[in-house]
Chains A and B, each alone.
Chain A
Amino acid sequence: MDSFAEAIAALNDMKAAGVVSDYALGGAMALIFWSEPTATFDLDVFVLMEQTGVLISLEPIYKWSRARGYPEEDEHLLISGLPVQVIPAHNELATEAVSHAADMEYAGQPLRVITPEYLIAMYLEDSARTRKRLERVAALLDEGNLDRALLNDLLKRYNLRLPRHEDDTDT
């Protein structure tokens, strides 16, 4: 088992231990499941967890992580040497993305991965809409294996717009 598989195994353990109710790989490492590999240095992991009060506390994750001896570096946990950023699903779209994640596998380890339609929608949110992410949107659109009906539905429900030259999904 290599370090990436170990990191995935740890995420599965975190879910099995009830620290989170579900997780899904997002960001550039999710992208490589649907498109070409791209340079990235960390794993973005979106999680669903119990909310007590107005704020979501990451304390259960840090407690679990410290009990397993994972070092922390800024906002990342270092799991088998790989920087992992655990991000609570912060809105309805992210929650839906995690709930509808695809069941995939890496080196025998099962893992949940955000699907391309949801990745596109999340990249198009105002808070995430950077040039780099719009390039990722273009890469995913180029693959042509998208569920266009789902993508259109997400764009409509979450009031999102594709970059202008790609804004042809209704046709």
Chain B
Amino acid sequence: MKLSSLNPLRCDGTPLPPPILLMCKLIVFCLMLRGYVEGIPEPFLPMLPMFDAIPRPDLFRQGSILIFLCASVGLLFNRSVRTCALLAGAIFLLQPLTSRVTFFYGNFFCASMLILSGLYDDRTGTLLHRAQFSIMYFGAGLGKLLDPDWHNGQFIDFWLSVKRPSALYESLASGLPERWFAGLLSWSTIVIEFALAIGLMFPKISRTFVWCAIVFHTGSVVLSQHDFGVFIAALLAGMLVFASWPERGQVKVLYDRGNRVAGLMKRISGVVHHDGLFDWRPTPSSDGGIRALRMEWQAKIYTGYAVIQIWLLLNPLTYFVIATLLCSPNLSKRIHITLVQITLIGGAFCLFPWAEAFNNLRLGLRWIEARVRCKSQH
């Protein structure tokens, strides 16, 4: 056993694809950081009566915590990752079955993603994970669509005026007719959830919908000033199943030795990138045709800031930093929610593929222009 394979920042060389293993690591990391593990209950008012027959509920709880911690250590240090994912997920799935008052969708989502990762098979790939996302958004959308309180904005208005009074909501809604803004938010939520349920099922278009989901959930956090427990962090980690991940040495980076930023990235990469994804190749400074940084991956060429974005997105440390900020323990509620909002907005802003989006927008506008011209000529 090589010592380097025990590095938590390494995600290759296991039966799980790197993004799925990274997702599992992040989920258990967030659960531990937010204190959900201590919250694993003793059997009490179980959904399945057989759990009432356990003679020592305290030992059952301690055993569950121990199994979860061992499985988490296994996942973080790349040991028997599929078994560990299955065990960690099973502990959280068992939680509401042993104590119905501890049923929460955040925990259930974490359990599902871990169990599906434990059941991962190369033949089906990420199909089950994608289906899980689709089912979740479909269920959420359908529930809202069939509830009259979502048709007229009653839920949103009550939530953001009484349950979690939001100054932002009040100020946005005050200039509009009564409940108009709440109704708009309700219907946009329903439409977005159905769109996500469909869009995330198809790998070709899922990337766009991943960003839609990130913007949608960031918006709900900002508007409600609520962090939704571990759910948002786990959901963002879960989005990794939609990521394209290169093989070792597949990302070719051409860099100018004389450039400071490039040199710094190369040095940091040596410390934090342990999967060897990047193939760094220096170019002579005199080569005016090549910029200071150029990346080649998946038959595409990236330059400038886009290189830094991909470098960050393919770096497990980026996700651990984001997870730590989202699940920061022992902070006052106000500081915590401010930190969560800054992380979500800042993270999305820094990592959003602006260049690609603007390029696609430009192409789209050109296409429309061409169609209009063609019609006017006819």
Chain A partners chain B = no
Binding site for A on B (CB under 8 A): none
Binding site for B on A (CB under 8 A): none
